[in-house]
């Protein structure tokens, strides 16, 4: 896993361009809704996450994230997830709204009334950020498909992955 992440960072660093990029660390806080597997309802689950990230070069950034979510399926089921992972973002800085492509990997812990366990998960998605207060604080929105390798018979776990839709604020650290 560590070799895989080191290889990804090395490959992305070869794409360095002479354009100036923001070298500050940033933190990002998001809240959103989850569409579990094949469900089409946005009221089944909610998610909160906190991320810390930094640009690798003009086009690529990475971020470390921690998240928690809870599914109730309108029956107060209480399926909870907690996770820790890393995302890599390919950002287009040309438009004012900075669209990006995201891919990530991490570990997800699930806990319910019947069982608990830890599995690997993968993210792939798209998003964008807009300057909200001057040239620092940005509003961020994204849509991500999260596929975990949880192979249980828990409600909402049929193997098709979860749609995660979130909005939040990105705030740089430092000047």
CATH number of the domain encompassing residue 140? 2.40.160.20
| SS3 at position 92 | coil
pLDDT of residue 115: 81
Would residue 16 count as lying in a domain?
no
Would residue 7 count as lying in a domain?
no
In angstroms, the Cα distances linking 83 to 41, 49, 70, 102, 148 are 22, 9, 12, 17, 11
Would residue 149 count as lying in a domain?
yes
Per-residue pLDDT at 57 exceeds 80: yes
Q: How confident is the model at residue 52 (pLDDT cuts 50, 70, 90)?
A: very high
Residue range of the domain that includes 102: 27-172
pLDDT of residue 161: 79
Domain count, the chain: 1
Would residue 8 count as lying in a domain?
no
Q: How confident is the model at residue 125 (pLDDT cuts 50, 70, 90)?
A: very high
Measured CA to CA, the distance from residue 65 to residue 103 in angstroms comes to: 12
Would residue 51 count as lying in a domain?
yes
Q: pLDDT tens for residues 72-97?
A: 766 666 788 899 999 999 999 877 78
Would residue 19 count as lying in a domain?
no
pLDDT of residue 21: 77
Q: Tell me what the mean pLDDT of segment 45-66 comes to.
A: 94
Per-residue pLDDT at 157 exceeds 70: no
Contact 82, 109 (CB under 8 A): yes
β partners of residue 22 = none
Location of structure tokens 């090395």: 10
pLDDT of residue 74: 60
Q: How confident is the model at residue 6 (pLDDT cuts 50, 70, 90)?
A: low
Would residue 14 count as lying in a domain?
no
Would residue 5 count as lying in a domain?
no
Per-residue pLDDT at 8 exceeds 60: no
pTM for this structure? 0.80
């Amino acid at each position: 896993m560590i070799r895989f992440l080191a290889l990804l960072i090395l490959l992305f660093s070869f794409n360095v361009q002479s354009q100036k990029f923001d070298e500050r660390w940033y933190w990002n806080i998001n809240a959103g809704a989850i569409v579990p597997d094949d469900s089409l309802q946005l009221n089944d689950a909610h998610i909160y996450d906190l991320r810390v990230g930094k640009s690798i070069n003009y086009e690529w950034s990475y971020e470390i994230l921690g998240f928690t979510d809870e599914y109730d399926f309108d029956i107060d089921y209480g399926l909870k997830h907690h996770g820790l992972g890393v995302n890599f973002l390919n950002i287009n800085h040309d438009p004012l709204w900075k669209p990006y492509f995201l891919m990530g990997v991490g570990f997800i812990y699930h806990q319910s009334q019947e069982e608990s366990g830890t599995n690997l998960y993968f993210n792939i998605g798209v998003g964008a950020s807009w300057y909200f207060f001057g040239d620092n604080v940005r509003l961020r929105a994204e849509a991500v498909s999260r596929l975990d390798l949880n192979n249980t018979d828990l409600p909402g776990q049929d193997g098709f992955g979860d749609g995660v839709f979130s909005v939040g604020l990105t705030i740089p650290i430092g000047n």
